[in-house]
Amino acid sequence: MPINSFLYPGVKAPPPFEVANSVRLDDGSSDNFSKTNTSGNSDTTKFTVSLWFKKTAFESNGGGLFMIKNASNNTADKVMLYFLDDKLNCFISDSGGSTESNVVPNRVFRDSSAWTHLTYRYDSTQGTDSNRVRIYINGTQETSLGTANYPDQNHAQPIDDSTQTIIGKSVYSNGNTYYFDGYMCEAVLVNGQSLDPTSFGEFDEDSPTIWKPIDVSGLTFGNDGFYLDFEDSSNLGNDVSGGTDLTENNIASIDQSTDTCTNNYCVLNPLEPHTNKNTFSEGNIVVSGGSGAWHLARGTIGLTQGKWYWEVFFSGGTVANYHAGVQLASATSYSNLHSQAGTTTFYNGDGGEIFTGSSQAFTTNDYGTMNGSSDILGVALNMDDKQITFYKNGSAIVTNYSLDTPNDTMMPLSVQYGSSQVTKVNFGGTQHTAISSGNSDANGYGNFEYSVPSGYYSINSKNLAEFG
């Protein structure tokens, strides 16, 4: 129970538990972690999975969060937690390959802007069948179920020396493989125990609807259990519980992120209108344009006050076919970007100009174009004074330009024309390429190529709580 400083004056409550790092998993790169289980288990009727995730792709087969499978058989003795049509499927097959259990909550997971906590409890010793598989989202049990097929009493789960445990991948019985696209942190497997979600998180004392993580390092993880905190960039599969590390498959140090369940960063939003021809990747910080028209991508976090900084890199195609800046959140028509009031962007065409949506016009100033192979555009948004400044490789090229129709929530914006255009955005939490210099804001958040302007901050939940 948290310490109440009013009842016990002079006694300070411990600081909240902070999660420093996550891992970014990209389905296009087949990213996943795996290990071969080597220890026999004293209790094969209980286990618990706990992990935080931020889902960034929304498609019919959204990939696997967690699975245990027979090392030589994709059908028999399998546990699989995976997304299908954006719903979480919790599947178990028996030794013959038939379905032993399948529990599917009605909840749909289609929010690329937020972190979610999953607790999956397995306890086949329970006399009541619905207690043998229990699913909790953000600390609350899922009771609205579209499918509810439970395992037989005392059914043995397959964590044993002939199986593999995999994170970020699902393998169907027909051999089709799907990978998770998004972020994960605090990935935990406890073997031999069925634990309540309060072993992994708690509701915030001041905001009781908010579920937050707690320190799990003191748990007993059991044979072949593990705890991944993703804090060692040189070994992201490091099991800090002391067990065997998981193997990193197609995962590199650049996939470590500071976008976590305790500090949520802005990324690009694939669910915005007029993004259907775009392709998003690398945790939704990279976007490739569609053919035949202008296509936009906006950030997941809107800004009403404060001062904010991010960086944009243009890669591929014709550098003249790029915009980057901000747009009003209230803009509703995306069929023609140039008609949208509240758009203020740096435009690479015609020598580098400022485009404003209300006047549907470009400035006559020549600010200089960006080299698509090397230059980085810095965007400094001042919502307090309703101005925007653009930087080229750390040097201001447009200073304190007045926003077009500024009195509303503004969204980070990137726009590209044609299928060969690729925009890479660094909001500070996740990088598309290695940073050579490493610059954070005054709060110590973010990782940018160039110095963050004084008084400006990366767009994340910690900074928003203080300055937003």
The string of pLDDT tens digits covering residues 131-148 is 999 999 999 999 999 999
Q: Between vectors from CA 52 to CA 49 and to CA 58, what angle results, nearest 5°? A: 110
Give the Cα separation of 25 and 33 in Å (integer).
10
Give the Cα separation of 15 and 35 in Å (integer).
34
Q: Provide φ and ψ at 20, rounded to 5°.
A: -80, -35
Q: What is the DSSP letter of 181?
A: -
Confidence label for 210 from pLDDT (cuts 50, 70 and 90): very high
The greatest distance separating any two alpha carbons of the chain, rounded to the nearest whole angstrom, comes to 76
Q: Give yes or no for residue 8 having a pLDDT over 70.
A: no
Tokens of 97: 């390959």
Give the Cα separation of 219 and 204 in Å (integer).
21
**What percentage of the chain carries pLDDT values higher than 90?**
65
Mean per-residue pLDDT for 214-237?
A: 96
Asked whether this chain's domains 22-257 and 279-467 adopt the same fold, the reply is yes
Q: Which of 258, 279, 236 is nearest to 426 (CA)?
A: 258
pLDDT at 15: 80
pLDDT at 2: 47
pLDDT at 97: 86
Q: Give yes or no for residue 284 having a pLDDT over 90.
A: yes
Contact indicator for 306, 119 with CB cutoff of 8 Å: no
Mean per-residue pLDDT for 192-209?
A: 94
Tokens of 323: 């915009």
Residue at 435: amino acid letter:
I
By three-state DSSP, how is residue 323 classified? Answer: strand
Q: What is the DSSP letter of 29?
A: G
- Among the ranges 31-45, 396-410, 421-435, which has the highest mean pLDDT value? 421-435
Domain ranges of the chain: 22-257, 279-467
Q: How far separated are the first and last CA of the chain, in Å rounded?
A: 31
Q: Which of 310, 281, 351, 279 is nearest to 447 (CA)?
A: 310
The alpha carbon of residue 142 and the mean position of all alpha carbons in its chain are separated, in whole angstroms, by 22
The string of pLDDT tens digits covering residues 450-462 is 999 999 999 999 9
Is 0.75 surpassed by the pTM of this model?
yes
Give the Cα separation of 343 and 300 in Å (integer).
17
Number of other residues whose CB lies within 10 A of the CB of residue 206: 7
The string of pLDDT tens digits covering residues 426-453 is 999 999 999 998 999 999 999 999 999 9
Q: Specify the CATH number of the domain 22-257.
A: 2.60.120.200
* 223 membership: H or E segment, kind and range: none
Name the CATH architecture for the domain at 279-467.
Sandwich (2.60)
Number of other residues whose CB lies within 10 A of the CB of residue 194: 21
Task: Work out whether strand 133-137 and strand 78-84 pair parallel, antiparallel, or are unpaired.
Answer: unpaired
Contact indicator for 389, 292 with CB cutoff of 8 Å: no
